[in-house]
A and B are shown apart, each in its own frame.
Chain A
Amino acid sequence: MSEIEDQGWQDFREQCRRQMQRPMENRIRFGFCRLYKPVLDDAPWRAFETMSEYRAWCSANLPAYLGFRPAPK
Chain B
Amino acid sequence: MNRPTFRPEQARIIAEAFAAHGVDYLFIGKSGAILLGFPALTQDVDVFVARSPANGRRIVAALRASGFEVDSELEQAIIAGKDFVQIKTGPFDVDLVFAPDGIASFAGAKARALEIDGFRIANLRDIIASKRSSGREKDLLDLEYLERFREEYEKLHSPALRSAADIAAERSRPLGSQDPKS
Q: Answer yes or no: do A and B interact.
A: yes
A contact set with B: CB distance below 8 Å: 1, 9, 12-13, 15-20, 22, 24-25, 27-35, 37, 40-51, 53-55, 58, 66-71
* Binding-face segment, B82-90, B106-114, B160-168: B82-90
Select B74's contact among A19, A25, A42, A45, beta carbons within 8 Å: A45
Contact of A54 among B36, B84, B135 (CB under 8 A): B84
User: Quick check: B43 and A47 within 8 Å, CB to CB?
Assistant: no
A49 close to B82 (CB less than 8 A): yes
Min Cβ gap B115→A in Å is 12
Q: Are A31 and B92 in contact (CB under 8 A)?
A: no
Quote the shortest CB–CB distance from B155 to chain A (angstroms): 9
In this complex, which of A29, A40, A44 has the most chain B Cβ atoms within 10 angstroms of its Cβ?
A44
Beyond A28-B9, A35-B43, is A49–B83 a contact (Cβ under 8 Å)? yes
**Chain B residue with Cβ nearest A29:** B8
Complex: A29 Cα to B69 Cα, angstroms: 24
Q: Are B84 and A16 in contact (CB under 8 A)?
A: no
Q: A-contacting residues of B (Cβ < 8 Å)?
A: 1, 6, 8-12, 31, 34-43, 45, 69, 74, 77-78, 82-89, 92-93, 99-101, 116-117, 119, 134-141, 145, 147-149, 151-153, 156
Q: For the complex, would chain B's binding face be called helix, strand, loop or mixed by DSSP majority?
A: mixed
List of B residues within 8 angstroms of A33 by Cβ: 6, 8, 41-43
CB<8 Å pairs between A and B, sample of 7: A27-B35, A47-B85, A48-B82, A48-B85, A51-B83, A51-B84, A54-B83
* A12 in contact with B148 (CB, 8 Å): yes
Query: Considering residues B39, B40, B135, B145, which has the most beta carbons from chain A within 10 angstroms of its beta carbon?
Result: B39
Contact with B10, one of A24, A32, A54 (Cβ below 8 angstroms): A32
- Asked if A16 and B149 sit within 8 Å, CB to CB, the answer is yes
CA of A30 to CA of B11 in the docked complex: distance in angstroms? 12
Given contacts A17-B156, A44-B88, 19 further A-B contacts (CB under 8 A): A15-B39, A16-B39, A19-B37, A19-B38, A20-B37, A22-B37, A24-B117, A32-B34, A32-B45, A33-B41, A35-B43, A46-B85, A51-B99, A51-B100, A55-B134, A66-B138, A68-B137, A68-B138, A71-B137
